[in-house]
């Protein structure tokens, strides 16, 4: 067997027919990253009959003195349970990359480590600890079973599985369902964007990531060619908000009057406690409805055509969707645009035959004291299961160059430290 460089088209043909494929191991993703600080190369291991037994996209970063390091995002595309094949591929890859001045290569395979319940406890089912042991045995360095976002890509993810016939909404947590209902009552609607919407999208997500506008423009151009990306916006329809608020106010006002009538008819009765409780609850609700009418009216005056309050970008691949990044205007948080966006997007693609919805990274620390507890709880509330991947591994290609690179990195970090730290 031998490692060879193949074309992007050859790689995509292999990936499309591979059982466990993912968006990050595609020519489209490689092309995108090639425009943003990396070079994309496509490698395959060919047997004596000319058949490809494994392949990978490798993103290459060039450092000082011509040194290079590589990253195979969610790769390789190989049968990790075939340890002989994995060892052969690793040996040949090391030889191939060593001739090309590589220091190391990182991988974070798209392989679940162990099955977990919604509380993060290990349960019976998947157990791929043998793959981890084998990778370490044949020379990979494991970064460990970290809990948060220390790796290049999250080790812990929230994934909702579904089908085209079930009632997905009923599976959500009570808190999520209430937020979605609230958004609907307040006139939130979902719009699909296009290439001309990228700047508006960026204005809503730019504080969540260091990526610049050009990254999203390139993403829309490159992935859009294969219909792999969609932008969605949450719009507050202020006219609809007024209409719905008035309808709710009038319904509650009628109910409140009916309770008043009931109370008057039973004023001399000894059994008015329950009626009074219902009256007090209705009074509070009626006042909230009145405030909503006032808020809706004021918003309509300011935004007569409505206002975009949130946005979300998703990746479509292999009948799965990936929530890439989302954002919303902080002043409109109470309208729950993020909840409504996720629900409507998931429900739409469920009907289109998509079976897995990736809500992206969560923390593996499920304690309420965790800094990411709110994020994790939010995503798991969408009927999501926990997927814990085996993690990130480093394959050292040239130990001398790798050690020099590590030492140089420490010096650079030291030089970048401020001379005086603020108190």
Reported as a single tens digit per residue, the pLDDT across 48-99 is 999 999 999 999 999 877 789 999 999 999 999 999 999 999 999 999 999 9
Q: Beta strand 320-328 with 356-361: parallel, antiparallel or unpaired?
A: parallel
Q: What is the pLDDT of residue 337?
A: 97
Q: What is the pLDDT of residue 411?
A: 47
Q: What is the pLDDT of residue 63?
A: 86
Q: What is the pLDDT of residue 263?
A: 86
CB under 8 Å, gap of 24 or more: what pairs does 377-383 form?
A: 378/176, 379/158, 380/118, 380/158, 380/173, 381/172, 381/173, 381/175, 381/176, 382/158, 382/160, 382/172, 382/173, 382/176, 382/342, 382/343, 382/346, 382/357, 383/160, 383/162, 383/168, 383/171, 383/172, 383/173
Q: What is the pLDDT of residue 415?
A: 43
**pLDDT tens string for the chain (423 positions)?**
999 999 999 999 999 999 889 999 999 999 999 999 999 999 999 999 999 999 999 999 998 777 899 999 999 999 999 999 999 999 999 999 999 999 999 999 999 999 999 999 999 999 999 999 999 999 999 999 999 999 999 999 999 999 878 899 999 999 999 999 999 999 999 999 999 999 999 999 998 888 999 999 999 999 999 999 999 999 999 999 999 999 999 999 999 999 999 888 888 777 788 889 998 999 999 999 999 999 999 999 999 999 999 999 999 999 999 999 999 999 999 999 999 999 999 999 999 999 999 999 999 999 999 999 999 999 999 999 999 999 999 999 999 888 888 776 654 454 455 544 444
Q: What is the pLDDT of residue 421?
A: 45
Q: What is the pLDDT of residue 417?
A: 54
Note whether 103 and 408 are within 8 A (CB). no
The alpha carbon torsion through 369, 153, 356, 35 (nearest 10 deg) reads 140
Q: What is the pLDDT of residue 422?
A: 43
Q: What is the pLDDT of residue 413?
A: 54
Q: Under 8 Å CB-to-CB from 317, ≥6 apart: which residues?
A: 21, 22, 23, 26, 228
Q: What is the pLDDT of residue 328?
A: 96
User: Taking the model in full, what pTM does it have?
Assistant: 0.90
Q: Under 8 Å CB-to-CB from 401, ≥6 apart: which residues?
A: 67, 101, 103
Q: What is the pLDDT of residue 403?
A: 86
Q: What does the alpha-carbon distance between residue 221 and residue 195 come to, in Å, rounded to a whole number? A: 7
Q: What is the pLDDT of residue 203?
A: 96
């Amino acid at each position: 067997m031998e490692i060879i460089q193949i074309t992007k088209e050859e790689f995509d043909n292999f990936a499309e027919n591979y059982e466990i494929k993912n968006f990050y191991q595609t020519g489209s993703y490689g092309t995108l990253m090639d425009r943003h600080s990396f070079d994309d190369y496509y490698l395959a291991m060919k047997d004596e009959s000319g058949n490809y037994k494994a392949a990978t996209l490798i993103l290459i970063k060039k450092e000082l003195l011509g040194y290079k390091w590589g990253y195979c995002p969610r790769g390789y595309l190989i049968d990790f349970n075939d340890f002989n094949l994995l060892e052969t591929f690793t040996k040949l890859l090391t030889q191939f990359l060593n001739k090309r001045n590589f220091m190391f290569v990182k991988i974070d395979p798209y392989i679940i480590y162990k099955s977990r319940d919604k509380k993060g406890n290990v349960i019976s089912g998947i157990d791929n600890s043998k793959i981890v042991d084998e990778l370490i045995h044949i020379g990979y360095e494991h970064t460990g079973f970290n809990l948060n976002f220390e790796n290049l890509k999250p080790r812990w993810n929230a994934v909702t599985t579904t089908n085209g016939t079930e009632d997905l909404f009923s599976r959500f947590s009570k808190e999520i369902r209430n937020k979605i209902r609230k958004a609907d009552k307040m006139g939130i609607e979902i719009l699909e964007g296009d290439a001309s919407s990228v700047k508006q999208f960026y204005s809503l997500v730019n504080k969540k990531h260091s990526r610049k506008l050009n990254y999203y423009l390139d993403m829309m151009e490159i992935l859009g060619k294969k219909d792999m990306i969609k932008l969605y916006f949450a719009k507050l329809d202020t006219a609809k908000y007024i209409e719905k608020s008035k309808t709710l106010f009038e319904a509650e006002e009628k109910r409140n009057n009916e309770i008043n009538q009931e109370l008057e008819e039973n004023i001399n009765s000894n059994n008015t406690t329950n009626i009074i409780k219902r009256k007090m609850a209705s009074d509070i609700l009626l006042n909230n409805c009145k405030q909503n009418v006032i808020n809706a009216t004021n918003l309509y005056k300011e935004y007569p055509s409505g206002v975009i309050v949130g946005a979300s970008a998703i990746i479509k691949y292999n009948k799965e969707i990936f929530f890439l990044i989302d954002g919303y205007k902080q002043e409109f948080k109470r309208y729950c645009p993020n909840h409504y966006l996720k629900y409507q997007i998931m429900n739409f693609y469920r009907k289109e035959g998509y079976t897995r919805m990736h809500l992206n990274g969560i923390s593996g620390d499920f304690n309420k004291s965790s800094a990411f507890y709110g994020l994790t709880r939010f995503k798991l509330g969408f009927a999501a299961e926990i997927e814990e991947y085996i993690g990130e591994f480093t394959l050292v290609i040239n130990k001398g160059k790798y050690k020099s690179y590590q030492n140089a990195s420490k010096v650079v970090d030291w030089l970048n430290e401020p001379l005086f730290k603020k108190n």
